[in-house]
Amino acid sequence: MVTAKFFGMISVDNNLKNISVNEGTVKDAIKEIADITTINKKQLEQAVIVVNNEFKEGKSRFKTHLKSGDELVFMSPVCGG
Amino acid sequence: MNGITGKVLRVNLTTKEIDLYPIDVRDYELYLGGKSLAAKIIYDSLSKKTDAYDEENMIVVTSGVLTGSTAPCSSRFNISTISPLTGLLTSSNCGGNFALHLKKAGYDGLVITGRSEDFVYIDILDGEVVIKDATHLKGLSTSETQSAMGGKRGKIVIGPAGENKVRYAAVISEERAAGRGGVGAVFGDKRLKGVIASGTGKFSYHNKENFKKHNKQWINLLKKHPITGEQLPKLGTAGLVSMMHYKNLLATNNYQAGSYSDFEMVSGEALREEELIKNKGCVTCPIQCGRVVNAYGKAVKGPELETLGLLGANILNNDLKSIINLNYLCDEYGIDTMTFGGTLAHVMELNQKGMWDNGLEFNNTKNLEDLVKKISLREGIGDELAEGSKRVSEKYGGTDFAMHVKGMEIAAYEPRAAQGMGLGYATSNRGGCHLNGGYMVVVEGLGLNVSGRTTKGKAGLTIFFQDLMEAVSASGNCIFTTYAILPEFLVKKPNHFITRLINKLVPSFGGLTGFLHNNSWLMNFNLKTLIPQAYSIKQITGVKMNINKLVQAGERSYNLERLVNIRQGLEGKDDTLPKRLRKELQRESDSLSKVRLEEMLSTYYKVRGWDSFGVPTDKRLKKLGIKW
């Protein structure tokens, strides 16, 4: 399983810190998370995405492959303060 | 001129003389108030190098031109003096309500000179000033002192740490702290336990209707903006910890790393979920970034980001409750949590390296709460830690990893992943300060996503933000209002191709901001939604304020503070960072992960109009109207 973690407003607004998702691509993970949590797909797509401590940018971020043991992080982009 | 009382009170604690400081009303237009007006007063008053503990040293407490109005986040005040930590000019900014009360009492500011024989406090009520005996307040904590002073009035006080001249003693107002630079120690040296003020003075507006209309828009802007309307109210400043960890910006293990494996235990999310009782904010603040949490069975002010970072990751402390307790104790005894954290990390590393057997270890919070008391009372090992990391390193070694700039410990942002922030720390007038340094880290990863690895354009951008924040602070406004300058679209949509393009292009704008800095007449206009402060000042005071004049007021102040520091002995070589940040790679895999100061500093001096030794040129001073 892949561990998906949530930080910032995504975590606060949905009262969720982390869940496990299946292996696949980031796109697959987003669909799965949107299906089983209150987080909407758009919010996940607009989030800052980090896979195993590496920031993923651009459209290709959705194609990033996730294998068992990986960490997928979604952070609300609003983190200034 | 509206919006001001036009009076600055002067109290000599040696002679007990009370009179008015001869302030020129034109100085309010040129310096706006706050730290800038204080710098002007100190620059004019001290004619030679002065030690923090000389009787001639002065404490200047100032409000800003916005203070007293209903402008958002405008209740802040500033305390400036010669710092016992740095020997240079320090300015410490604080929220709460004291500035409002001082202005209602009839004064824009307060200049305190001399030294009393016994502890006293100053009572200001509707223009009447009395120096009162405070010997019965000696030894009391900051909350006890405020309670004993009585009444719902504005108060600034010191605790035992200030009385004992801990070099990083704070001044406390309600639960808010003017923490940095050791202003509380100078209060202690002058045997001034505090000031209490209140009055019935009314605030005057040049054009109240225009102000109110603009003010409504400004407040809406802040409430709508994703940072000031969502992030800060919901997570407080602590909400940054997570992003800082992932971006290698979180000072960890005395800045030996930029990320902390246990960050989730001491993050803003954890603080909210496990400890938050409610939000709290200053008077006139629509943001409400303050946290109320529980410590020792009391509802108290929660830790800010800097405290979470420096008493958390930086000493490898994953115990959130211990940080909350330490934060509370530091406020009660009256010491700066940031320098306390920075000094702790340094002595822990000294112990780890076998350079000083002091019993303090990373990842071990045992005895730290007792240590706050020992430092404040200068007992045992506390007496040495009360001197700060610079002086400790001069005695025990480890200057390469004493993480201060010019004597003041740097903030929780690890600059090896944010070159502009590194330049800001190195050039900040008051030492290792992120805010006085221009807070470039917000552009370099925490708000926008401009690369923190490149040095390109960072000199011009750093100067722009240093000057802007200097002016905003001087006006009495909270610097958090400047986040509105970051376009909502760019903040909310980091993956959009336009956002990514702009993030890539921003370093190239550095040259443009440098050009604008030296041709600021091109900004002779107001953009009410981008920099609302300028238009607000205009409607309150009647002064023809615009972006150019506002930013130039910041530049004028930055140069004036620099001149005070040069008189205090500052040299260009002091614009540097601890060796660890300049020479050691943060990550072995990234050859750019150290602060390349040499690639930025000469451009910084050039754009500032300073010579190669970091001294403002006659031409620049003439342009700014400063006599040297």
CA distances from A49 to A76, B243, B247 (A): 9, 11, 12
Q: Which residues contact A49 (CB under 8 A, 6 or more apart)?
A: A26, A55, A56, A61, A64, A72, A73, A74, A75
Tell me if A79 and B493 make a contact (CB, 8 A cut-off): no
Residue B395, by phi and psi: left (phi above 0), alpha (psi -120 to 50) or beta? alpha
Tell me if B246 and A58 make a contact (CB, 8 A cut-off): no
* CA closest to B245 among chain A residues: A53
Can you give the pLDDT at residue B484?
A: 79
Tell me if A9 and B500 make a contact (CB, 8 A cut-off): no
Dump pLDDT digits (tens) for B137-155: 999 999 999 999 988 999 9
Alpha carbon distance B281, B330 (integer Å): 20
Q: What is the dihedral of CA B396, B399, B400, B405, to 10 degrees?
A: 150
Question: B557 is written with which tokens?
Answer: 């102040």
Question: A27 is written with which tokens?
Answer: 């796109």
Instruction: State which H helix or E strand residue B92 sits in.
Output: strand B89-94
Average pLDDT in the A12-30 region? Answer: 96
Q: β-pairing, A71-75 with B8-12?
A: unpaired
Tell me if B242 and A75 make a contact (CB, 8 A cut-off): yes
| A60 close contact with B: CB closer than 8 A | no
Pick from B287, B285, B175, B286: nearest CA to B239? B287
Can you give the pLDDT at residue B509?
A: 86
**Mean pLDDT value across chain B:** 96
Selected for mutation to probe chain A from B485, B486, B495 (highest A CB count within 10 Å) is B495
Alpha carbon distance B140, B332 (integer Å): 9
Instruction: Answer yes or no: is pLDDT of A20 > 90.
Output: yes
CB B182 within 8 A of CB B52: yes
Tell me if A81 and B267 make a contact (CB, 8 A cut-off): no
Question: B466 is written with which tokens?
Answer: 């240093």
Q: Which residues contact B140 (CB under 8 A, 6 or more apart)?
A: B148, B159, B160
> What is the predicted ipTM?
0.96
Tell me if B494 and A77 make a contact (CB, 8 A cut-off): yes
Tell me if B239 and A53 make a contact (CB, 8 A cut-off): no
Buried b (16+ CB within 10 A) or exposed e, B420-453: bbbbbbbbbbbbbbbbbbbbbbbbbbbbbbbbbe
Can you give the pLDDT at residue A78?
A: 66
Can you give the pLDDT at residue A79?
A: 54
Tell me if B242 and A81 make a contact (CB, 8 A cut-off): no
Instruction: State which H helix or E strand residue B82 sits in.
Output: strand B77-82
* CA closest to A12 among chain B residues: B269
* CA closest to A77 among chain B residues: B492
Alpha carbon distance B183, B159 (integer Å): 12
Alpha carbon distance B128, B106 (integer Å): 9
Tell me if A58 and B500 make a contact (CB, 8 A cut-off): yes
Touching A: B residues 39-68, CB under 8 Å: none
Touching B: A residues 7-26, CB under 8 Å: 7-9, 11-12, 17
Question: B379 is written with which tokens?
Answer: 């007992």
Tell me if B235 and A81 make a contact (CB, 8 A cut-off): yes
Cβ contacts (< 8 Å) between A50 and chain B: which residues? 246
Tell me if A8 and B235 make a contact (CB, 8 A cut-off): yes
CB A79 within 8 A of CB B240: yes
Cβ contacts (< 8 Å) between A53 and chain B: which residues? 246, 259
* CA closest to B443 among chain A residues: A80
φ, ψ of residue B449 to 5 degrees: the values are -125, 40
| A53 close contact with B: CB closer than 8 A | yes
Can you give the pLDDT at residue B51?
A: 98
Selected for mutation to probe chain A from B73, B223, B231 (highest A CB count within 10 Å) is B231
Can you give the pLDDT at residue B488?
A: 87
Q: Which amino acid is at B276?
A: L
Instruction: Compare CB distances from B234 to A9, A17, A80 and report the shortest one's residue.
Output: A9
Instruction: Compare CB distances from B269 to A7, A45, A53 and report the shortest one's residue.
Output: A7
Question: B313 is written with which tokens?
Answer: 């990751």
Counting as low any pLDDT under 50, the low residues of chain B are: none
Cβ contacts (< 8 Å) between A48 and chain B: which residues? 243, 494-495
Can you give the pLDDT at residue B377?
A: 98
Q: What is the dihedral of CA B528, B533, B534, B540, to 10 degrees?
A: 110
Instruction: Answer yes or no: is pLDDT of A81 > 80.
Output: no
Cβ contacts (< 8 Å) between A61 and chain B: which residues? 495
CB B326 within 8 A of CB B369: yes
